[in-house]
Amino acid sequence: MRRATALRLRVCTSALLVLGVLGATEASADPAPDSAPDATREAAAAAPALVDALARDLGIGEDEARTRLAQEAEAAEAQPAARDAAGDAFAGAWFDPAAGSLVVAVTDPAAAGEVRETGAETRLVAHSAAELDATAEAIADLAEGGAPPEGVVGWGVDTRANTVTLDIVRGTAGDAEVAAFVADARRAGPVEVRERADAAPAPFAAGVVGGDPYRTGNVRCSIGFSVHGGFVTAGHCGQPGAAVYGWDGSLMGRFEGSSWPGNDYGWVSVGHGWWTVPVVLGWGTVSDALVRGSAEAPIGASVCRSGSTTGWHCGTVLGKNETVNYVGGEVVHGLTRTSVCAQPGDSGGSYISGDQAQGVTSGGWGNCSSGGQTWHQPVNEILSAYGLRLHTA
Protein backbone atom coordinates (compact mmCIF):
# COMPACT_ATOMS: atom_id res chain seq x y z
CA MET A 1 0.00 0.00 0.00
CA ARG A 2 2.84 2.38 0.85
CA ARG A 3 4.53 1.73 -2.49
CA ALA A 4 1.29 2.46 -4.35
CA THR A 5 0.90 5.77 -2.56
CA ALA A 6 4.49 6.70 -3.35
CA LEU A 7 3.94 5.86 -7.02
CA ARG A 8 0.92 8.15 -7.25
CA LEU A 9 2.93 10.96 -5.66
CA ARG A 10 5.76 10.46 -8.15
CA VAL A 11 3.40 10.50 -11.12
CA CYS A 12 2.06 13.87 -9.94
CA THR A 13 5.61 15.12 -9.57
CA SER A 14 6.42 14.13 -13.15
CA ALA A 15 3.48 16.20 -14.35
CA LEU A 16 4.82 19.20 -12.46
CA LEU A 17 8.21 18.75 -14.09
CA VAL A 18 6.63 19.02 -17.54
CA LEU A 19 4.80 22.18 -16.52
CA GLY A 20 8.11 23.58 -15.28
CA VAL A 21 9.45 23.64 -18.85
CA LEU A 22 6.60 25.85 -19.98
CA GLY A 23 7.14 28.29 -17.12
CA ALA A 24 10.94 28.45 -17.21
CA THR A 25 11.19 31.60 -19.34
CA GLU A 26 8.63 33.47 -17.28
CA ALA A 27 10.35 32.48 -14.02
CA SER A 28 13.55 34.24 -15.02
CA ALA A 29 11.70 37.56 -14.89
CA ASP A 30 10.42 37.07 -11.36
CA PRO A 31 11.31 39.54 -8.59
CA ALA A 32 14.28 38.84 -6.32
CA PRO A 33 13.80 35.89 -3.95
CA ASP A 34 13.22 38.06 -0.88
CA SER A 35 10.77 40.47 -2.50
CA ALA A 36 7.58 38.39 -2.78
CA PRO A 37 4.46 40.64 -2.95
CA ASP A 38 2.50 40.98 0.29
CA ALA A 39 -0.69 39.71 -1.33
CA THR A 40 1.07 36.60 -2.60
CA ARG A 41 2.57 35.80 0.78
CA GLU A 42 -0.78 36.37 2.53
CA ALA A 43 -2.46 33.97 0.12
CA ALA A 44 0.19 31.31 0.77
CA ALA A 45 -0.06 31.84 4.53
CA ALA A 46 -3.84 31.30 4.40
CA ALA A 47 -3.62 27.96 2.54
CA PRO A 48 -5.92 25.58 4.49
CA ALA A 49 -3.56 22.59 4.23
CA LEU A 50 -0.63 24.58 5.64
CA VAL A 51 -2.81 25.90 8.45
CA ASP A 52 -3.87 22.33 9.28
CA ALA A 53 -0.25 21.11 9.33
CA LEU A 54 0.91 23.89 11.65
CA ALA A 55 -2.06 23.42 13.95
CA ARG A 56 -1.25 19.70 14.18
CA ASP A 57 2.50 19.97 14.75
CA LEU A 58 2.50 23.07 16.98
CA GLY A 59 -0.54 22.04 19.00
CA ILE A 60 -2.52 25.21 18.30
CA GLY A 61 -5.94 26.02 16.84
CA GLU A 62 -6.48 26.69 13.15
CA ASP A 63 -7.37 30.36 13.72
CA GLU A 64 -4.24 30.80 15.81
CA ALA A 65 -2.14 29.12 13.11
CA ARG A 66 -3.60 31.37 10.42
CA THR A 67 -2.91 34.49 12.49
CA ARG A 68 0.58 33.32 13.34
CA LEU A 69 1.53 32.80 9.69
CA ALA A 70 0.50 36.36 8.82
CA GLN A 71 2.39 37.77 11.82
CA GLU A 72 5.53 35.79 10.98
CA ALA A 73 5.50 37.13 7.43
CA GLU A 74 5.34 40.69 8.78
CA ALA A 75 8.16 39.96 11.24
CA ALA A 76 10.39 38.57 8.48
CA GLU A 77 9.80 41.68 6.38
CA ALA A 78 10.55 44.01 9.32
CA GLN A 79 13.72 42.21 10.40
CA PRO A 80 16.28 43.83 8.01
CA ALA A 81 15.18 47.39 8.78
CA ALA A 82 15.07 46.71 12.51
CA ARG A 83 18.60 45.35 12.46
CA ASP A 84 19.86 48.39 10.57
CA ALA A 85 18.14 50.68 13.06
CA ALA A 86 19.86 48.95 16.00
CA GLY A 87 23.32 49.37 14.48
CA ASP A 88 26.20 48.29 16.71
CA ALA A 89 23.74 47.81 19.59
CA PHE A 90 22.05 44.91 17.76
CA ALA A 91 22.00 41.76 19.88
CA GLY A 92 19.73 39.51 17.82
CA ALA A 93 16.05 39.20 16.93
CA TRP A 94 13.26 36.67 17.22
CA PHE A 95 9.52 36.25 16.67
CA ASP A 96 7.42 36.26 19.84
CA PRO A 97 4.23 34.24 19.21
CA ALA A 98 2.60 35.57 22.38
CA ALA A 99 2.98 39.19 21.26
CA GLY A 100 2.70 38.34 17.57
CA SER A 101 5.62 40.55 16.65
CA LEU A 102 9.37 40.76 16.08
CA VAL A 103 11.51 41.38 19.17
CA VAL A 104 14.95 42.96 18.76
CA ALA A 105 17.53 42.82 21.55
CA VAL A 106 19.74 45.91 21.94
CA THR A 107 22.60 46.80 24.26
CA ASP A 108 22.02 50.56 24.15
CA PRO A 109 18.73 52.14 25.35
CA ALA A 110 19.28 54.99 22.88
CA ALA A 111 18.85 52.56 19.96
CA ALA A 112 15.57 51.15 21.24
CA GLY A 113 13.48 54.08 20.05
CA GLU A 114 14.73 53.85 16.48
CA VAL A 115 14.11 50.11 16.44
CA ARG A 116 10.54 50.54 17.67
CA GLU A 117 9.87 52.92 14.80
CA THR A 118 10.31 49.95 12.44
CA GLY A 119 7.41 48.16 14.15
CA ALA A 120 9.51 45.80 16.30
CA GLU A 121 9.51 45.44 20.07
CA THR A 122 12.81 45.79 21.95
CA ARG A 123 14.61 44.17 24.87
CA LEU A 124 17.67 45.59 26.63
CA VAL A 125 20.47 43.03 27.12
CA ALA A 126 24.10 42.94 28.21
CA HIS A 127 25.89 41.38 25.21
CA SER A 128 25.82 42.48 21.57
CA ALA A 129 25.50 40.07 18.67
CA ALA A 130 29.08 40.85 17.71
CA GLU A 131 30.31 39.85 21.19
CA LEU A 132 28.31 36.63 21.19
CA ASP A 133 29.44 35.74 17.68
CA ALA A 134 33.06 36.30 18.72
CA THR A 135 32.57 33.95 21.66
CA ALA A 136 31.13 31.25 19.40
CA GLU A 137 34.04 31.68 16.99
CA ALA A 138 36.52 31.38 19.87
CA ILE A 139 34.97 28.05 20.83
CA ALA A 140 35.28 26.95 17.22
CA ASP A 141 38.97 27.82 17.38
CA LEU A 142 39.32 25.41 20.31
CA ALA A 143 38.24 22.61 18.00
CA GLU A 144 40.57 23.55 15.14
CA GLY A 145 43.18 21.00 16.21
CA GLY A 146 40.66 18.14 16.05
CA ALA A 147 37.03 17.20 16.61
CA PRO A 148 35.44 18.13 19.97
CA PRO A 149 34.70 15.27 22.38
CA GLU A 150 31.83 13.00 21.29
CA GLY A 151 29.69 14.20 24.18
CA VAL A 152 29.74 17.77 22.83
CA VAL A 153 26.73 18.23 20.54
CA GLY A 154 27.59 21.74 19.40
CA TRP A 155 27.35 25.40 20.26
CA GLY A 156 25.79 28.62 19.08
CA VAL A 157 24.27 31.95 20.06
CA ASP A 158 20.99 31.76 21.99
CA THR A 159 19.58 35.15 21.10
CA ARG A 160 16.68 35.11 23.52
CA ALA A 161 18.92 34.12 26.47
CA ASN A 162 21.64 36.55 25.32
CA THR A 163 24.39 33.99 25.72
CA VAL A 164 26.27 31.29 23.83
CA THR A 165 24.97 27.82 24.62
CA LEU A 166 27.22 24.78 24.61
CA ASP A 167 25.08 21.66 24.23
CA ILE A 168 26.24 18.29 25.55
CA VAL A 169 24.67 14.83 25.56
CA ARG A 170 22.85 14.10 28.80
CA GLY A 171 24.99 12.24 31.29
CA THR A 172 28.36 13.24 29.80
CA ALA A 173 29.12 16.31 31.92
CA GLY A 174 31.41 14.24 34.13
CA ASP A 175 33.48 12.86 31.27
CA ALA A 176 37.03 14.19 31.53
CA GLU A 177 37.31 15.31 27.89
CA VAL A 178 33.89 16.98 27.91
CA ALA A 179 34.63 18.76 31.20
CA ALA A 180 37.95 20.06 29.86
CA PHE A 181 36.33 21.36 26.66
CA VAL A 182 33.57 23.03 28.67
CA ALA A 183 36.10 24.74 30.96
CA ASP A 184 38.01 26.13 27.98
CA ALA A 185 34.77 27.30 26.36
CA ARG A 186 33.66 29.19 29.46
CA ARG A 187 36.85 31.25 29.31
CA ALA A 188 35.91 32.44 25.81
CA GLY A 189 33.00 34.62 26.98
CA PRO A 190 29.37 34.34 28.12
CA VAL A 191 28.64 30.60 27.87
CA GLU A 192 25.84 28.47 29.28
CA VAL A 193 26.17 24.67 29.22
CA ARG A 194 22.99 22.69 28.59
CA GLU A 195 22.34 18.96 28.61
CA ARG A 196 19.59 18.85 26.04
CA ALA A 197 20.34 16.06 23.60
CA ASP A 198 19.56 12.40 24.21
CA ALA A 199 22.19 11.33 21.70
CA ALA A 200 24.89 12.78 19.48
CA PRO A 201 23.42 14.19 16.24
CA ALA A 202 23.96 12.46 12.91
CA PRO A 203 23.40 13.33 9.25
CA PHE A 204 20.11 12.03 7.84
CA ALA A 205 21.35 10.11 4.81
CA ALA A 206 20.29 6.49 4.25
CA GLY A 207 21.02 3.38 2.19
CA VAL A 208 19.19 2.90 -1.12
CA VAL A 209 15.52 1.90 -0.86
CA GLY A 210 12.69 1.75 -3.39
CA GLY A 211 11.15 5.02 -4.56
CA ASP A 212 14.16 7.20 -3.82
CA PRO A 213 13.80 10.90 -4.66
CA TYR A 214 17.46 10.82 -5.62
CA ARG A 215 20.49 8.72 -4.91
CA THR A 216 24.20 8.83 -5.44
CA GLY A 217 26.26 5.70 -4.90
CA ASN A 218 24.62 3.82 -2.04
CA VAL A 219 23.24 6.95 -0.38
CA ARG A 220 19.65 8.17 -0.56
CA CYS A 221 18.88 11.83 0.12
CA SER A 222 16.21 14.41 -0.62
CA ILE A 223 16.03 17.32 -3.04
CA GLY A 224 16.19 20.72 -1.37
CA PHE A 225 15.14 23.56 -3.69
CA SER A 226 15.20 24.04 -7.43
CA VAL A 227 17.67 26.59 -8.75
CA HIS A 228 18.09 27.57 -12.37
CA GLY A 229 20.04 24.65 -13.78
CA GLY A 230 19.53 22.14 -10.98
CA PHE A 231 18.82 21.90 -7.25
CA VAL A 232 20.53 22.45 -3.89
CA THR A 233 20.87 19.77 -1.25
CA ALA A 234 23.13 18.58 1.58
CA GLY A 235 26.87 18.37 0.96
CA HIS A 236 27.32 15.09 2.81
CA CYS A 237 25.10 13.38 0.22
CA GLY A 238 27.70 13.44 -2.58
CA GLN A 239 31.10 14.59 -3.80
CA PRO A 240 31.71 16.87 -6.82
CA GLY A 241 31.36 14.88 -10.02
CA ALA A 242 29.23 12.13 -8.46
CA ALA A 243 26.37 10.94 -10.67
CA VAL A 244 22.86 11.53 -9.33
CA TYR A 245 19.88 9.29 -10.12
CA GLY A 246 16.21 10.16 -9.70
CA TRP A 247 13.39 8.31 -7.95
CA ASP A 248 12.84 6.19 -11.07
CA GLY A 249 16.50 5.16 -11.34
CA SER A 250 17.21 7.33 -14.38
CA LEU A 251 20.23 9.64 -14.53
CA MET A 252 19.37 13.17 -13.39
CA GLY A 253 22.75 14.89 -13.44
CA ARG A 254 25.76 15.25 -11.17
CA PHE A 255 27.08 17.10 -8.15
CA GLU A 256 28.71 20.29 -9.41
CA GLY A 257 29.74 21.44 -5.96
CA SER A 258 29.80 20.00 -2.45
CA SER A 259 31.13 21.20 0.91
CA TRP A 260 31.34 18.81 3.89
CA PRO A 261 32.31 19.04 6.71
CA GLY A 262 32.71 22.67 7.78
CA ASN A 263 29.61 23.36 5.71
CA ASP A 264 26.87 20.99 4.61
CA TYR A 265 25.71 22.13 1.20
CA GLY A 266 25.96 21.14 -2.41
CA TRP A 267 24.29 21.63 -5.73
CA VAL A 268 23.35 19.25 -8.52
CA SER A 269 23.01 20.15 -12.19
CA VAL A 270 20.16 18.35 -13.96
CA GLY A 271 19.42 17.31 -17.53
CA HIS A 272 18.60 14.03 -19.26
CA GLY A 273 14.89 14.91 -19.44
CA TRP A 274 14.64 16.37 -15.92
CA TRP A 275 13.52 19.95 -15.29
CA THR A 276 13.32 22.17 -12.23
CA VAL A 277 10.17 23.59 -10.68
CA PRO A 278 9.63 25.96 -7.72
CA VAL A 279 7.71 23.35 -5.73
CA VAL A 280 8.15 21.56 -2.38
CA LEU A 281 6.28 18.26 -2.02
CA GLY A 282 3.55 18.14 0.62
CA TRP A 283 3.47 14.32 0.59
CA GLY A 284 -0.32 14.23 0.85
CA THR A 285 -0.23 16.01 4.22
CA VAL A 286 -0.52 19.44 2.62
CA SER A 287 -0.77 20.66 -0.95
CA ASP A 288 2.56 20.96 -2.73
CA ALA A 289 4.02 24.34 -1.74
CA LEU A 290 5.12 26.97 -4.24
CA VAL A 291 8.44 28.69 -3.50
CA ARG A 292 8.29 32.45 -3.99
CA GLY A 293 11.52 33.62 -2.36
CA SER A 294 14.04 33.06 0.41
CA ALA A 295 13.37 35.75 3.02
CA GLU A 296 14.89 34.45 6.26
CA ALA A 297 12.39 33.66 9.01
CA PRO A 298 13.33 34.94 12.49
CA ILE A 299 13.99 32.76 15.52
CA GLY A 300 10.66 31.66 16.97
CA ALA A 301 8.90 31.52 13.61
CA SER A 302 7.23 28.36 12.36
CA VAL A 303 8.97 26.28 9.71
CA CYS A 304 8.06 23.08 7.86
CA ARG A 305 10.28 20.39 6.37
CA SER A 306 9.75 18.06 3.41
CA GLY A 307 11.81 14.87 3.15
CA SER A 308 11.63 11.56 1.34
CA THR A 309 11.51 9.39 4.47
CA THR A 310 9.10 11.16 6.79
CA GLY A 311 7.26 13.51 4.44
CA TRP A 312 6.01 16.82 5.80
CA HIS A 313 6.56 17.97 9.40
CA CYS A 314 6.51 21.37 11.08
CA GLY A 315 8.03 23.08 14.12
CA THR A 316 9.78 26.33 15.02
CA VAL A 317 13.17 27.96 14.51
CA LEU A 318 15.17 27.55 17.74
CA GLY A 319 18.58 29.04 16.92
CA LYS A 320 20.87 30.26 14.17
CA ASN A 321 24.54 30.18 13.23
CA GLU A 322 25.13 27.11 15.39
CA THR A 323 28.02 24.66 15.23
CA VAL A 324 27.22 20.93 15.32
CA ASN A 325 29.61 18.08 16.17
CA TYR A 326 28.22 15.09 14.26
CA VAL A 327 28.88 11.44 15.03
CA GLY A 328 32.26 10.58 13.54
CA GLY A 329 33.77 13.96 14.40
CA GLU A 330 32.53 15.97 11.41
CA VAL A 331 31.99 19.56 12.60
CA VAL A 332 29.67 21.88 10.67
CA HIS A 333 29.26 25.61 11.29
CA GLY A 334 26.54 28.15 10.50
CA LEU A 335 23.51 25.87 10.88
CA THR A 336 19.97 26.76 11.93
CA ARG A 337 18.39 24.63 14.67
CA THR A 338 14.69 23.72 14.65
CA SER A 339 12.20 21.59 16.58
CA VAL A 340 11.19 19.77 13.38
CA CYS A 341 11.81 16.01 13.39
CA ALA A 342 13.61 14.07 10.66
CA GLN A 343 15.04 10.61 9.95
CA PRO A 344 17.63 8.96 7.67
CA GLY A 345 16.91 9.72 4.02
CA ASP A 346 15.55 13.21 4.78
CA SER A 347 19.03 14.77 4.33
CA GLY A 348 19.07 17.61 1.82
CA GLY A 349 15.31 18.11 2.02
CA SER A 350 13.50 21.45 2.10
CA TYR A 351 12.78 23.75 5.03
CA ILE A 352 10.17 26.35 4.13
CA SER A 353 8.39 29.07 6.12
CA GLY A 354 5.16 30.13 4.43
CA ASP A 355 6.30 30.37 0.81
CA GLN A 356 9.89 31.33 1.62
CA ALA A 357 12.76 28.83 1.25
CA GLN A 358 14.85 28.54 4.43
CA GLY A 359 17.41 25.76 4.07
CA VAL A 360 18.26 22.11 3.43
CA THR A 361 18.27 19.33 6.03
CA SER A 362 21.69 18.59 7.51
CA GLY A 363 21.16 16.31 10.51
CA GLY A 364 19.92 16.04 14.06
CA TRP A 365 18.96 13.67 16.84
CA GLY A 366 15.77 11.77 17.62
CA ASN A 367 13.08 10.76 15.13
CA CYS A 368 9.50 11.53 14.12
CA SER A 369 8.03 9.04 16.60
CA SER A 370 9.70 10.16 19.82
CA GLY A 371 10.69 13.69 18.73
CA GLY A 372 14.05 15.41 18.49
CA GLN A 373 15.76 18.41 16.93
CA THR A 374 17.28 19.07 13.53
CA TRP A 375 19.64 21.52 11.88
CA HIS A 376 19.51 22.93 8.36
CA GLN A 377 22.02 24.76 6.18
CA PRO A 378 20.56 28.19 5.27
CA VAL A 379 19.63 28.32 1.59
CA ASN A 380 20.82 31.89 1.00
CA GLU A 381 24.35 30.87 1.97
CA ILE A 382 24.25 28.06 -0.59
CA LEU A 383 22.98 30.38 -3.33
CA SER A 384 25.74 32.86 -2.54
CA ALA A 385 28.50 30.23 -2.34
CA TYR A 386 27.81 28.92 -5.85
CA GLY A 387 26.30 32.00 -7.51
CA LEU A 388 22.97 30.24 -8.00
CA ARG A 389 19.50 31.70 -8.53
CA LEU A 390 16.52 30.21 -6.75
CA HIS A 391 13.75 29.01 -9.07
CA THR A 392 10.66 30.89 -7.83
CA ALA A 393 7.00 30.85 -8.78
344 in helix, strand or coil? Answer: coil
163-169 vs 191-197, strand pairing mode: parallel
| C-alpha to C-alpha distances, 7 to 14, 211, 213, 229, 336, nearest whole angstrom | 11, 8, 11, 26, 32
Question: Which alpha helices (H) appear in 117-265, and where do they start and end?
Answer: 129-142, 176-186
Distance between CA 242 and CA 59 in Å, rounded? 42
| C-alpha to C-alpha distances, 70 to 44, 62, 95, nearest whole angstrom | 10, 13, 12
Q: Which residues pair with 336 in a beta bridge?
A: 376
Task: Give the residue numbers annotated as catalytic, written as ranges.
Answer: 236, 264, 347
75 HSE (CA, 13 A, CB side):
27
Other residues' Cβ atoms within 10 Å of the Cβ of residue 167? 25
By CB atoms closer than 10 A (0-12, 13-18, 19+), residue 194 is middle
Residue among 134, 180, 173, 183 nearest 157 (CA): 134
CB of 346 within 8 A of CB of 364? Answer: no
**CA angle at residue 380 from 378 to 382, to 5 degrees?**
80
